[in-house]
Structures are given as C-alpha cells and as structure tokens.
Amino acid sequence: MALVTSKQMLLDAQKGGYAVGAFNVENMEMVKAVIAAAKELQAPVMLQTTPSTVKYGSLKTYQALVAAEAEKAGIPVCLHLDHGSSFELAVRAIQAGYTSVMIDGSHEDFEQNIALTKKVTEVAKACGVTVEAELGKVGGKEDDLEAEGDTNTDPAEAREFVERTGVDSLAIAIGTAHGFYADTPVLDKERVSEVKSLVSIPLVLHGASGLRDEDIRECVQRGMCKVNFATELRVAYTEAGKKLIAENPDMFDPKKMGGVGMEAVKELVKNRILVCGCDHKAK
C-alpha cells in the first residue's frame, strides 16, 4: 500500500475512541520493526523523523525506506515530519514525499505561532498533505529545542488557534515532557477533555515515553487520537545491541546488531499499539 496521510486514520481514531501510535525512527531497522509490528497487529501506523534525524540521513532517504516497507505491508502507513522547526523544512518534507508534517511554533508567541502554522497549512493542503501543530509547551528536550517548564494549553486559545490556522491535528500540553521522566509526571488529564469539548480536530499527545499504560489509556479515552513514542524506542534498540556485544565481545557483524535491535523495537511497538487500542483497526 502506498503511503497515506494521517487525516483519515486520525478521524477514524477520533470516532472509534482509540489512538494511532506514532513512532520515531532513526534507521532502516527501526523502520522495518515499526511496520512489522503494525502489520502483525493490523494497525494503522505513523512513522516520524525529527529534524536531527533528517540531518543524520535525509528526507529522501527516509521517505524511500518507509515507502518501500509500506508497499509490502498492506496496512495504512503515514510518514510524518515530527517537530518541524521551520517553514522551509516543512516544505522540503512535502516535496520529498512525506504525507504529513508538523510545524512546531510552540516556542513562538500565540500570534507568531498562528502565522507560521497557517503559512505551512496553506502549502500542505494545496499538496494534499496533512498538518499537525502544537499549542502550549511540552517540557523536556526534543532535538535541539528545550523547554524549561511546561505551559499547559489554554482550551479557549486552542479553539481560536484551530479556527484561524485550519490545521488537521493539534498537539496540546498537559504536563508531559520529551525524554524520560525524572519524577512521576502530574498530568492535567481534565484539560484533554476541556480542549476536546471546544476543538473538533484530533488531539495529539507528545512525550509518552515513560508514561504509565493507564495514564496513556485515560488520555486516549478523554480524546487523544495520536500518541508519540520516541525515547523508549531508541533505548530499546541501543540496549539490545549493548547486550549482544557484552555476551559476544568478538561479534563484528552489524546485521546481527541490527537484528536484535529490530526485534526489541518490534516488541515494544506491539505493546504500545495495544495500549493505544489501534490493533485490528487497519482499513
């Protein structure tokens, strides 16, 4: 199946009361692992690359990898630019064949965020590509951007933001953070319900790595339709390789390292798909 946009899969999730898992990938092995897990559980899936991942490879490289694996999978697969840092990068991703882009203007003030998001949305929609934006600040570090503290999303501002930008989905801040948590996070889950009551488009949860399964499930029940997982996938992949080398110090075949990393990521992704409730929702 050819790559699809996130629009229908997220609308289906919104209607069905589940969330689509969105997984950050860094290399071929992680791409294959995520799609294999989704195929096994017959789940729609989103694969994401951040600006630093794109810099490590290239937009065209990741597009080719994901498109090739999606073609064989027979399930809906969306390739998404995560935390797009500029208008120019978002446009280049669209030109490279990404089917969804995020423009992250959350570090700007409200009006500047609207202006940037609207500019990207106009270009993307003309090309048939969906757009995710962010309002409020999710703590922690994502690529080279770091938020000192959390500023949770104001529901009234969310409604105005969506109306003025025309975005397809909106990431909101409720107390989550990128990376792993030093302490147990205090999530404002009621805010998800409040924003959902005022905003018609699907909502997105960032910073899910390290959250308790029950917290993710409640956020989904309250209205989150897409859940992002990144850090924990990197850890699973790396730890599997470390274990293999520790047990086999004379091993020098990178395919074996990639293989154990791939299997570790696949099993984690399957777990996260089940937590999001999107298994057997492929259409």
Q: Is 209 annotated as a binding residue?
A: yes
The CA-based angle 235-94-1, given to 5 degrees, is: 75
Q: Is 280 annotated as a binding residue?
A: no
Q: Which of 21, 97, 43 is nearest to 65 (CA)?
A: 97
Q: Which of 252, 225, 275 is nearest to 20 (CA)?
A: 225
User: In angstroms, what is the C-alpha Rg of the chain?
Assistant: 18
Look at the block and give the residue holding tokens 């490289």: 61
In angstroms, the CA 44 to CA 220 distance is: 16
Q: Is 104 annotated as a binding residue?
A: yes
In this structure, the dihedral spanned by the alpha carbons of residues 138, 143, 148 and 153, taken in order and rounded to 10 degrees, is: -20
Q: What is the DSSP letter of 58?
A: -
Q: Is 27 annotated as a binding residue?
A: no
Q: Is 231 annotated as a binding residue?
A: yes
What is the number of other CB atoms lying within 10 angstroms of the CB of residue 154? 18
Q: Where are the beta strands (DSSP E) in the chain?
A: 20-24, 45-49, 77-84, 100-103, 130-135, 139-142, 145-147, 169-172, 177-178, 203-205, 224-229
Q: Is 161 annotated as a binding residue?
A: no
Q: Is 229 annotated as a binding residue?
A: yes
Q: Is 207 annotated as a binding residue?
A: yes
Q: Is 107 annotated as a binding residue?
A: no
What is the number of other CB atoms lying within 10 angstroms of the CB of residue 241? 18
For the annotated catalytic residues, the residue numbers are 82
Q: Is 49 annotated as a binding residue?
A: no
Q: Is 197 annotated as a binding residue?
A: no
H helix or E strand, kind and range, residue 127: none
In angstroms, the CA 225 to CA 11 distance is: 8
Cα dihedral across residues 169, 172, 178, 182: positive or negative: negative
- Residue 182: exposure state from Cβ atoms within 10 A (0-12, 13-18, ≥19): exposed
What is the number of other CB atoms lying within 10 angstroms of the CB of residue 195? 27
List, as residue ranges, the binding site for dihydroxyacetone phosphate: 179, 207-209, 228-231
List, as residue ranges, the binding site: 83, 104, 134, 178-179, 206-209, 228-231
List, as residue ranges, the binding site for Zn(2+): 83, 104, 134, 178, 206
